[in-house]
């Protein structure tokens, strides 16, 4: 002790500090007395913070030596460990560093010593072996040091621990330590250890981590259980995120039902009648929590930083909740910050188990359904008095738990919750939450996400909701009960419910075969329609547009129901069709100048959100895109009002000329998409708005390239790519969100269809008035044929004799061209490969039907002739390949017999050639078959036309009969 005192009597300037450190290190190195060494380490420890550089530089290896040789003495071991902790800790700010020592300030000493310490021989094994010591402080400080090293040099430490025999087992044993402080420190250590390392995550799982953690959570009282529960949830999230093996483990070892009591601890009914066992556990543990808070204080930073990206957004939503709705919804009394954090993490954990757009999650979704998790989530998500962060998370969690699985969706719809004291069905409560203007954007958009997930790939649910639209005259007929399920979801983007395995739950969940479904959604259509045209709340317009868009997506019946819906915009006004109301509203919001942002005159200034006026327009455009896609009936209705098409063109030009802002890109792109859909799914006969005239508009008035540019720009803009990357709404700021995920799916499909429809090469396939839905069906193989360079070029490359004289093709084309110029132009004639430049006369002369048919027939014959020759070429190529393959195969077999061991160089290349040839052969065969398919369809159409020509009194000549005979061969 006298030695110790002497240091401090003289230790004023830096130089003396260094000298003292030197003296202490010397003593530590050379003293033979344990007590001297122990005192030296204790003194070094007290200097390590202030003279970090000197103590580290001179003492690091000596401290390691202590751990190696003096580990029988608990005190010196503990002091050495504590000194190491001080050395490896990074100073919070560099400013403090510069004043203390003359050491280079820009160098992080903590990281440098961490690195140096790890690189010394076997340090990690040494530390792991210290864990065998039962002394509290040795074990406790060892865990802390390991956590610190892991935080500083994650990858290196993870690898060292993986390599050490029984390394992870030892760390896992700490969770079973009866001393809670050690167990709690071990939790923090494991959180660091399991970060983004799948191998470690699996071993930790193998060592029963989930079972142990769930036990601890139960002991601590679930969501009420303080920061220890937060650590447990954090660790479990680490183990499960993006780790499919562990997700399977979690499901297969009955961990899912153990989440039920956790959710129950969040549910409002629990709060009112707090379950006695949980409460007693809570009391039991709480004293320890307080004890632990200091230890967590340091790591607390880690918690808020190292979670996932959602954290920031929660910050927003939280703030939003306070700013917007604090007066109405103060932070509920029983919701402490800690409980809120636990709740959010627990809900996120459930979401990790059911990542959207992943077919393998269906089993997990079903397990959750079986254990009543859906009802619990419904109760939590739709409870009004919740912290906004929890509410948002619960809505999104419920969405992903039921998403795309009809049995779960039905189960959710069957739940009843209390809203303002009244008991209502969940779908309605959900819409109330979405339409509540005082709620923050994050909550309202999360409610929308849940609503979309409720109807996704569930045509019965979709039609049930659509049937409640005001004035709808089409009765709801559940398809599922009669015809099983699956047909409706074939087009779906997300999960396809596997028809075989669903039945069990489907029948259980939906007692009366779907008839009752409509009872659960009664009133939904009305709410949606009201929200759609509520002039006070542009955000509601947008939310309802998207919700209704999801209701009718991919469902002809639901679209028809929407078409038959009539409502009056204001009380007492004459009801108009829903579609007319939509287009009227669009015209209104985009009325003079309203779109050029500066002059926005939001009538009631319902929100200060500058995005409010374009928001209504974007929403309505989005709704119409869902509506018109694949629906000639909707296109017809839309175009029936002669103002609509010019309006779209106006939208394009207006924005083209006024601004180049990001929202402008959005509106242009959506208007172009809608215009494209009017073209692609058009079966209008009248000349005003048929395909030909719309094509003219696109090509002449807008310019095809500009038009395609609008659509491409939309697909490239940040709003779009962000929405496409995540099924839920990732931002909580309304200005950042213009699209929902489902729209991005629709967009991708629609833009391909539009591009194909506009391509002159396919026009002939699509102008068939008789088969409006056919084009997609057979345009696809034809496209493959046309675009496969291997097919197109290989005959020439191989120098093969074409079965048809080469000059014949140009001749044919020439003939076609002549015809084109001689005859009046019709839409059909655009089929020729020549670029088509339309003239005003052309579109005016579409009317004469019999001439039309003759032309159609002529065109088809030309086309068939041409394709016949192509097929013949392909056939020749195929047979050529066949013979080549045959020779190669015999060669290979021969060489195999001669050299049975290693294949020679030549043989390898021959094999390679053979494989490529076989592949080519296969693709040729496929093309061939596709072409035959197309031919068959042509024949059908031709027969139909001939019949019609005959009906019309035309003549079919023998030569034409002959043609038919040929093409049928």
Partner 1 sequence: MAGYSYLFKYIIIGDTGVGKSCLLLQFTDKRFQPVHDLTIGVEFGARMITIDNKQLKLQIWDTAGQESFRSITRSYYRGAAGALLVYDITRRDTFLHLTNWLSDARQHSNTNMVIMLIGNKSDLDARRQVSYEEGEQFAAEHGLIFMETSAKTAANVEDAFIGTAKQIYQKIQQGIFDLSNEANGIKVGPQHAGSGVVPVGRGETGGDGGNPNAGGGCC
Binding residues (CB under 8 A) for partner 1: these are 162-163, 165-169, 196-199, 202-203, 205-208, 218, 242-246, 248-249, 251-254, 257-258, 260, 359-360, 363, 366-367, 370-371
Token pair listed for 534 = 């509520």
Is the Cβ of residue 255 or residue 521 nearer to partner 1 in the bound state?
Answer: 255
From the CB of 360, what's the least distance to partner 1, in Å?
Answer: 4
Nearest to 142 by CA among 127, 162, 158, 123: 127
Is the Cβ of residue 166 or residue 886 nearer to partner 1 in the bound state?
Answer: 166
Is the Cβ of residue 496 or residue 733 nearer to partner 1 in the bound state?
Answer: 496
From the CB of 261, what's the least distance to partner 1, in Å?
Answer: 8
From the CB of 249, what's the least distance to partner 1, in Å?
Answer: 5
φ/ψ of residue 683, rounded to 5: -125, 25
Token pair listed for 391 = 């509410």
φ/ψ of residue 360, rounded to 5: -75, -5
Residue 732 has, within 13 A of its CA and on its CB side, a CA count of 22
d(CA 636, CA 679): 11
* Strand 422-425 versus strand 566-567 pairing type: unpaired
Token pair listed for 155 = 């990858």
From the CB of 494, what's the least distance to partner 1, in Å?
Answer: 16
From the CB of 228, what's the least distance to partner 1, in Å?
Answer: 19
Is the Cβ of residue 165 or residue 835 nearer to partner 1 in the bound state?
Answer: 165
From the CB of 177, what's the least distance to partner 1, in Å?
Answer: 14
Concatenating the DSSP letter of every residue in 15-40 gives: HHHHHHHHHHHHHHHH---HHHHHHH
Is the Cβ of residue 328 or residue 498 nearer to partner 1 in the bound state?
Answer: 498
From the CB of 451, what's the least distance to partner 1, in Å?
Answer: 28
Strand partners, 924: none
Q: Sign of the CA dihedral 98, 104, 108, 111?
A: negative
Strand partners, 422: 419
Is the Cβ of residue 198 or residue 809 nearer to partner 1 in the bound state?
Answer: 198
What does the CA dihedral 850, 852, 857, 858 come to, rounded to 10 degrees?
120
**Contacts (Cβ under 8 Å, ≥6 apart) of 422:** none
* Strand 576-577 versus strand 416-419 pairing type: unpaired
**Contacts (Cβ under 8 Å, ≥6 apart) of 405:** 362, 365, 366, 369, 495, 497, 502
Is the Cβ of residue 407 or residue 639 nearer to partner 1 in the bound state?
Answer: 407
- Residue 964: count of CB within 10 angstroms of its CB: 16
- CA distances 404 to 32, 323, 461, 531, 742, Å, are 73, 35, 11, 25, 12
Contact 736, 719 (CB under 8 A): yes
Is the Cβ of residue 201 or residue 644 nearer to partner 1 in the bound state?
Answer: 201
SS (H, E, C) 877-924: HHHHHHHHHHHHHHHHHHHHHHCCCCCCHHHHHHHHHHHHHHHHHHHH
- Residue 640: count of CB within 10 angstroms of its CB: 14
Is the Cβ of residue 244 or residue 936 nearer to partner 1 in the bound state?
Answer: 244
From the CB of 155, what's the least distance to partner 1, in Å?
Answer: 12
Strand partners, 567: 576
Token pair listed for 736 = 């950042």
From the CB of 280, what's the least distance to partner 1, in Å?
Answer: 15
Is the Cβ of residue 264 or residue 942 nearer to partner 1 in the bound state?
Answer: 264
From the CB of 503, what's the least distance to partner 1, in Å?
Answer: 15
Is the Cβ of residue 168 or residue 935 nearer to partner 1 in the bound state?
Answer: 168
Contact 495, 404 (CB under 8 A): yes
From the CB of 896, what's the least distance to partner 1, in Å?
Answer: 16
């Amino acid at each position: 002790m006298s030695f110790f005192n002497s240091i401090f009597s003289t230790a004023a300037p830096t130089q003396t500090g260094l000298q003292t450190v030197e003296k202490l290190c010397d003593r530590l190195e050379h003293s033979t007395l344990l007590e001297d060494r122990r005192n030296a380490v204790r003194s070094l420890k007290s200097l390590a913070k202030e003279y970090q550089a000197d103590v580290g530089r001179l003492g690091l290896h000596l401290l390691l030596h202590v751990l190696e040789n003096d580990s029988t003495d608990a005190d010196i071991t503990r002091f050495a460990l504590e000194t190491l902790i001080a050395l490896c800790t990074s100073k919070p700010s560099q400013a403090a560093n510069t004043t203390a020592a003359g050491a280079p300030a820009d160098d992080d000493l903590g990281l440098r010593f961490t690195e140096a310490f790890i690189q010394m021989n076997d340090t990690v094994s040494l530390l792991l072996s210290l864990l065998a010591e039962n002394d509290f402080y040795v074990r406790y400080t060892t865990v802390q040091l390991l956590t610190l090293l892991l935080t500083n040099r994650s990858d290196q430490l993870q690898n060292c621990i993986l390599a050490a025999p029984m390394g992870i087992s030892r760390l896992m044993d700490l969770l079973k330590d009866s001393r809670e402080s050690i167990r709690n420190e071990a939790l923090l250590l494991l959180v660091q250890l399991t970060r983004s390392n799948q191998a470690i995550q699996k071993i930790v799982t193998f060592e029963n981590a989930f079972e142990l953690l769930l036990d601890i959570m139960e002991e601590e009282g679930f969501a009420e259980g303080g920061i220890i529960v937060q650590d447990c949830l954090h660790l479990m999230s680490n183990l499960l995120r993006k780790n499919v093996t562990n997700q399977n483990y979690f499901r297969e070892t009955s961990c899912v039902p153990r989440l039920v009591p956790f959710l129950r601890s969040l549910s409002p009914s629990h709060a009112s009648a707090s379950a006695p066992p949980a409460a007693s556990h809570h009391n039991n543990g709480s004293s320890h929590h307080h004890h632990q808070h200091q230890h967590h204080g340091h790591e607390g930073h880690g918690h808020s930083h190292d979670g996932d990206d959602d954290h920031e957004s929660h910050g927003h939503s939280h703030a939003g909740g306070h700013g917007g709705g604090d007066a109405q919804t103060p932070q509920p009394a029983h919701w402490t910050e800690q409980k809120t954090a636990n709740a959010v993490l627990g809900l996120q954990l459930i979401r990790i188990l059911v990542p959207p757009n992943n077919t393998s999650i269906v089993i997990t979704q079903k397990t959750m359904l079986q254990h009543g998790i859906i009802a619990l989530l419904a109760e939590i998500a739709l409870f009004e008095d919740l912290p906004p962060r929890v509410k948002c998370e619960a809505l999104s969690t419920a969405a992903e738990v039921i998403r795309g699985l009809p049995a779960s969706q039905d189960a959710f719809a069957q739940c009843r919750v209390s809203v303002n004291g009244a008991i209502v069905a969940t779908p309605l409560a959900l819409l109330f939450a979405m339409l509540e203007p005082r709620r923050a954007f994050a909550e309202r958009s999360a409610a929308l996400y849940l609503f979309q997930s409720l109807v996704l790939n569930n045509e019965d649910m979709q039609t049930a909701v659509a049937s409640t639209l005001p004035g709808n005259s089409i009765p709801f007929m559940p398809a599922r009960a009669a015809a099983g399920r699956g047909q409706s979801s074939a087009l779906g983007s997300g999960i396809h419910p596997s028809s075989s395995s669903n039945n069990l739950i489907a029948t259980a969940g939906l007692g009366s075969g779907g008839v009752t479904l409509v009872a659960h959604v009664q009133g939904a259509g009305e709410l949606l329609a009201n929200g759609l045209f509520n002039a006070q709340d542009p955000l509601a317009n947008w939310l309802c547009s998207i919700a209704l868009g999801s209701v009718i997506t991919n469902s002809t019946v639901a679209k028809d129901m929407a078409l038959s819906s009539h409502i009056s915009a204001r009380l007492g006004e004459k009801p108009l069709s829903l579609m007319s109301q939509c287009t009227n509203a669009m015209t209104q919001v985009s009325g003079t100048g309203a779109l050029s942002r500066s002059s926005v005159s939001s009538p009631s200034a319902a929100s200060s959100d500058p995005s409010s006026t374009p928001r209504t327009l974007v929403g309505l455009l989005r709704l119409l895109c869902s509506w018109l896609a694949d629906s000639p009936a909707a296109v017809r209705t839309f175009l029936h009002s002669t103002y609509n098409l010019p309006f779209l063109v106006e939208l394009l030009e207006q924005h083209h000329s006024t601004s180049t802002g990001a929202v402008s890109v959005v509106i242009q792109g959506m208007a172009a998409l809608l215009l494209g859909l009017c073209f692609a799914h058009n079966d209008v006969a009248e000349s005003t708005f048929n395909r030909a005239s719309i094509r003219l508009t696109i090509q002449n008035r807008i310019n095809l390239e500009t038009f395609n540019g609008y659509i491409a720009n939309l697909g490239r803009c940040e709003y779009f790519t962000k929405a496409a990357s995540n099924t839920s709404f990732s931002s909580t700021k309304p200005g950042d969100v213009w699209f929902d995920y489902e729209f991005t799916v629709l967009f991708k499909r629609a833009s391909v269809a539009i591009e194909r429809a506009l391509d002159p090469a396919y026009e002939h396939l699509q102008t068939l008035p008789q088969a409006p839905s056919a084009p997609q069906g057979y345009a696809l193989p034809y496209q493959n044929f046309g675009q496969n360079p291997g097919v197109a070029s290989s005959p020439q490359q191989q120098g093969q004799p074409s079965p048809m004289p080469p000059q014949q093709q140009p001749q044919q084309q020439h003939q076609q061209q002549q015809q084109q110029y001689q005859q009046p132009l019709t839409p059909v004639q655009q089929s020729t490969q020549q670029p088509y430049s339309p003239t005003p006369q052309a579109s005016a002369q579409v009317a004469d039907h019999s001439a039309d048919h003759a032309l159609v027939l002529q065109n088809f014959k030309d086309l068939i002739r041409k394709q016949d020759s192509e097929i013949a070429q392909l056939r020749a190529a195929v047979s050529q390949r066949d013979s080549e393959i045959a020779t190669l195969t015999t060669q290979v077999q021969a060489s195999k017999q001669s050299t049975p061991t290693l294949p020679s160089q030549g043989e390898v290349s021959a094999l390679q050639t053979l494989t490529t040839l076989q592949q080519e052969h296969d693709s040729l065969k496929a093309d061939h078959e596709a072409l035959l398919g197309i031919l068959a369809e042509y024949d059908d159409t031709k027969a139909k036309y001939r019949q019609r020509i005959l009906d019309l009194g035309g003549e079919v000549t023998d030569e034409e009969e002959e043609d038919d005979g040929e093409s049928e061969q």
